[in-house]
Structure 1
């Protein structure tokens, strides 16, 4: 009996401890769930897109709410983002308030200029003249932005999305209630999650839980047709009551008064062309690479060289995305390409030569992308570094003398150049010492001889000097021009001059 009671007590204690253990586990689980939702709420709260406004003299919190908010009665929500009193009648002169974008009237929402490259102009809705765009400038409904040649403008929309306006573009900012719609009248825009309306199409990003970000470029050509290229996510392109979904890595074109064409694959990146093998339509492995350009590491052999263009090879098994007609090359002083010094679109058959550009000496970064026949631009390559040095080496010729006459059948050619230069005299390389000096014998023929001396540095720059040397036969002296004073007239004048000086000297002495 005692054993039964003891077992009962042990079992009861075990059940109680087990219950307490389960209760503690449940409490911990509820705590973690609470913290999860609290953290999620805080994240949502902190990630809200806010617009900063400056309170004018005499304005109160209620006055600000009446002017800016779609529903002024929601003014207490402003308190969550600002350290101010809850009294709506408080005067807040000069204070900058942060207000959630979703509360602000559409016409008062502002986009922000985040970056400017070269010349960018802005025209307000109520103004006629264009003004220079400035960093952090606010843009409102129906304000216009215009970029000039080789110029770019970065814009952040009211909802926090970004876009880059390309060269020679005209854009109207039109923030809507649920979207950041922008009108592109000419040029191009690279946008993230921003609807774009062109003269011939409407581009709407497809935002889903799996693809929360859509990155794409919209371009309006001179004939008003629209090109849409998608680099991430997907977009819907609508025209003439037809909508086409363009997935990542594809493009579509909308010609005037026509619906969008079916999506086609974008030109590949340079890395893909240069490194990956291609598979032909029969499924066989094609080892031949398309000769459209290679990425070369900027070592001492190819500094000053960007091996792009000049070749376009299509094998029999080439796929459709090899329909490449142009390449777009950019050269900048920084890795982020905020300071672009060269920006050009060129035919694929045109070999790129950086020495023929206006890029000055220095260290730069470059990248390139390909365009197909429609004008759709593929994925841009990663940046590569290049050292530009267009300065030719110094070269001085000490002997022979240009247009000099020499009796010997050989003449010594000597001079000075840069220590690391390579000197070529009439097609033959000569030794250059550590001080940059060189010397060599050159054979002459009777009459005129042309001696061509060239110095090349390691970067491919060249300096050339040409000399003319005349070889005369043995026994014939060089013709020397007679002095004027050796002619008969000169001798007479010399005698008279000397006599006059003697007479003057005698008179001076006797006097």
Structure 2
């Protein structure tokens, strides 16, 4: 009887030892987890999978692949991750096409010779503009003599540039910062929709000599050949800053900013022209 007992005990120890050796090479939990991951892998045609690199943050990844650092929450949701601290170097992240780069604005119409420089698509040559084409961050638009162009941002803001003007599109740097336009030269008419939040910045218009924080307003900005800026406000108000000095330009007033100097005290302006399709 003792002999049979020891034989059974030996068999049991062999089985336990075998299971232990098997678990070392084929972990059950990992095998199950891997198979589970494989069953939820999305279609490769619907996006791409990236490997997080050292030093990358969610904002950097969103900026790189989605052209918008503010989309990191949507990126987490697409990967079914609740805690952003779980993003570590070496892990895989799914970038769905549905979150891909979207244009800041659409070119609605233009006359004469209007050209677009699509730096967002790594193009280094100016090309003839097309009605309805999307304008992305870093893209540039210019009008030549006797030419005009109008584009509308997704926020509803509308902009009209006159002849011999040159603008550059910029996306807001964070969730709380508004999108931007840099007016390199020429004249731009801006019609920004009003917001229910009086503290919300709707738009930021920059020139070489000044920066204009916009909420809900209608205003005209002009940059001359020397980089000086003239801003005329026709509705609402615009905060104009230069050389760490800010002036509030209310409806019916204007300011002038000489390059390298603070803005002048606002002064009265004549009535504005009525924009088309307002």
Tell whether the structures are fold-level matches, with TM greater than 0.5: yes
Larger radius of gyration: 1
Matched, 1:249 2:252: yes
What CA deviation, in whole Å up to 9, does each residue of 1:281-336 have, x standing for no partner? xxxxxxxxxxxxxxxxxxxxxxxxxxxxxxxxxxxxxxxxxxxxxxxxxxxxxxxx
Contact kept, 8 Å, 1:184 with 1:197, in 2: the verdict is yes
How far did residue 202 of structure 1 move? 0.4
Matched, 1:127 2:123: yes
Report the equivalent of 1:110: 104
Contact kept, 8 Å, 2:103 with 2:134, in 1: the verdict is no
How far did residue 186 of structure 1 move? 0.3
SS at match of 1:70: helix
Counterpart mapping for 1:195-214 below 5 A: 195-205=204-214, 207=215, 213-214=216-217
CA distance in 1, matches of 2:47, 2:264: 52
What CA deviation, in whole Å up to 9, does each residue of 1:187-219 have, x standing for no partner? 0111123321101000111x3xxxxx2111110
How far did residue 262 of structure 1 move? 0.6
Over 3 Å counting, the alpha-carbon distance change for 1:73 and 1:109 in structure 2 is farther
Report the equivalent of 2:231: 228
Report the equivalent of 1:54: none
Contact kept, 8 Å, 1:202 with 1:239, in 2: the verdict is yes
How far did residue 380 of structure 1 move? 1.6
Contact kept, 8 Å, 1:113 with 1:154, in 2: the verdict is yes
Over 3 Å counting, the alpha-carbon distance change for 1:149 and 1:230 in structure 2 is same
How far did residue 76 of structure 1 move? 9.1
SS at match of 2:163: coil
1:160 pairs with 133, 156, 160, which one? 156
Matched, 1:259 2:250: no
Structure 2: gaps of 5 or more residues: 1-42, 51-60, 81-93, 193-202
Structure number with the bigger relative contact order (C-alpha 8 A, sep ≥ 6) is 2
TM score, norm. by length of structure 1: 0.34
CA distance in 2, matches of 1:381, 1:141: 29
CA RMSD of superposed structures (Å): 3.0
What CA deviation, in whole Å up to 9, does each residue of 1:141-170 have, x standing for no partner? 111111011211111224332211221001
Counterpart mapping for 1:317-328 below 5 A: none
Contact kept, 8 Å, 1:61 with 1:75, in 2: the verdict is no
The number of aligned residues is: 188
SS at match of 2:184: strand
Contact kept, 8 Å, 1:173 with 1:181, in 2: the verdict is yes
How far did residue 255 of structure 1 move? 0.7
Contact kept, 8 Å, 1:158 with 1:175, in 2: the verdict is no
CA distance in 1, matches of 2:275, 2:225: 29
How far did residue 223 of structure 1 move? 2.2
TM score, norm. by length of structure 2: 0.60
Over 3 Å counting, the alpha-carbon distance change for 1:257 and 1:148 in structure 2 is same
Over 3 Å counting, the alpha-carbon distance change for 1:172 and 1:254 in structure 2 is same
CA distance in 1, matches of 2:273, 2:104: 31
What CA deviation, in whole Å up to 9, does each residue of 1:440-493 have, x standing for no partner? xxxxxxxxxxxxxxxxxxxxxxxxxxxxxxxxxxxxxxxxxxxxxxxxxxxxxx
Report the equivalent of 2:72: 70
Contact kept, 8 Å, 1:236 with 1:243, in 2: the verdict is yes
How far did residue 60 of structure 1 move? 2.4
Contact kept, 8 Å, 1:109 with 1:175, in 2: the verdict is no
Contact kept, 8 Å, 1:215 with 1:230, in 2: the verdict is yes
How far did residue 112 of structure 1 move? 1.2
Structure 1: gaps of 5 or more residues: 1-56, 78-88, 208-212, 268-377, 384-511
CA distance in 1, matches of 2:205, 2:47: 35
CA distance in 2, matches of 1:200, 1:217: 15
CA distance in 2, matches of 1:192, 1:113: 15
